Amino acid sequence: MFTSFHEPGKDGLHFLYSYDGYKWDSLPGSFLTPVVGKDKIMRDPSIAKGPDGVFHLVWTTSWKGDKGFGYTYSSDLQHWKPQQFIPVMENEPATANVWAPELYYDEDEKQFIIIWASCIPGRFEKGIEEETNNHRMYYTVTKDFKSFSPAKLFLDPGFSVIDATIVKTGMQEYTLVLKDNTRNERDLKVAFAKHPLGPYSNPSAAFTGKLTEGPTVLNNGKEWLIYYDDYGNKKYGAVSTTDFHHFKDITGQISVPVGHKHGTVFKARRKILNQIK
C-alpha cells in the first residue's frame, strides 16, 4: 500500500494499493482528517508497521511555524487513535519548520527511528540557500511513541537536504535516499552507512532529473524500486536498481493515479486491504 495526500493537504490521508508494486489504484475517500498542528494539514504521510502489526503514522502538520509533527496509530488503517502533536524541536526555538517525518523500524534495536528536515536559520554554513531554506536532517528514536529521545542532527551533507528515507539493503548495510534541495540541484541522491543512524557517506551524484522529491522504496524480490514525486512534471516517476549505484528509469512501466503526492510504501495483509475495499 502507498500513503498519499492531495493538495493542499486539508482532507488528510489517502491510500493507493498494488499487488505487484507497479500498477497502483486509489482507495476512494480520505481515511483520516488532520486536526493537530498550526495549519492542521497532512502532508508527506509516512506509515511503518511495528512487530505487533500496529500501523504507526506520522505527517507534516504545517508549512512553517510548527516544531513537531503529527502522530497516530491503527490496527486496521480505518480506525485511528486520537491524534497527537509530537514537539520534537521544542528545545530549538529558532526552528522554522518540521518537514516530511519518515518512520523506520530498527529490528536490531527494536525501536522506531523518525527522521525529518528542519531549518534553523544561522546554524549551518549558508551556501547558496536563503537562511530560511537551509535544511538539515534530524532524528529521534522511540520504542513506544510515548517517550522520545532528544532530537539530534542526523545528516549534514554540507548542503540543504530534505525528504530522506532509510532502507536496509543488507545484513549491516543501509542506504539513505535523499533530496538535495539546493536551487541548482533539487534532485535525488543516495548515501551509505553500516548503521541506520549513520554516519552516512558523502551523497552520490543525482539519479533523477531536477524538480524531484519524496522518495519511497520497495523491494519486489528481484530488485529495488524507488518511487518519487516528479513534481516538475506533475506525475510520479520510478527507477529500479539492484545495488543503488546503477539505476534504470522504469517510469513507463508504472501506473500511479493523478494527484497522488509524497507518500510511503508499506506492506499490509490482503485481509486488511479487503476490509477497506
pLDDT tens-digit readout, 9-33: 999 999 999 999 999 999 999 999 9
- For 55-100, what is the HEC assignment? EEEEEECCCCCCCCEEEEEECCCCCCCCCEEECCCCCCCCCCCCEE
User: How many CB atoms lie under 10 A from the CB of residue 221?
Assistant: 5
State the pLDDT at residue 125. 87
Q: What average pLDDT does range 203-232 have in this prediction?
A: 97
CA 103 to chain centre: 7
* CB-count exposure of residue 83 (10 Å: 0-12, 13-18, 19+): buried
State the pLDDT at residue 128. 85
Full set of structural domains in the chain with CATH: 2-276 (2.115.10.20)
Kindly report, residue by residue over 29-51, the tens digit of the pLDDT. 999 999 999 999 999 999 999 99
236 pLDDT band, cuts 50/70/90, is: very high
* Residue 219 CB contacts under 8 Å (≥ 6 apart), including other chains: 225
Helix ranges (H only) for the chain are 270-276
Strand partners, 104: 113
* Residue 44 CB contacts under 8 Å (≥ 6 apart), including other chains: 5, 59, 60, 99, 100, 101, 102, 163, 214, 262, 263
Backbone angles phi, psi at 252, to 5 degrees: -70, -15
Share of the chain above pLDDT 70, in %: 100
Q: What's the one-letter identity of residue 138?
A: Y
Q: Is the pLDDT of residue 182 over 90?
A: yes
DSSP state of 244: S
Q: Dihedral sign, CA of 39, 40, 43, 48?
A: positive
Q: Is the pLDDT of residue 55 over 90?
A: yes
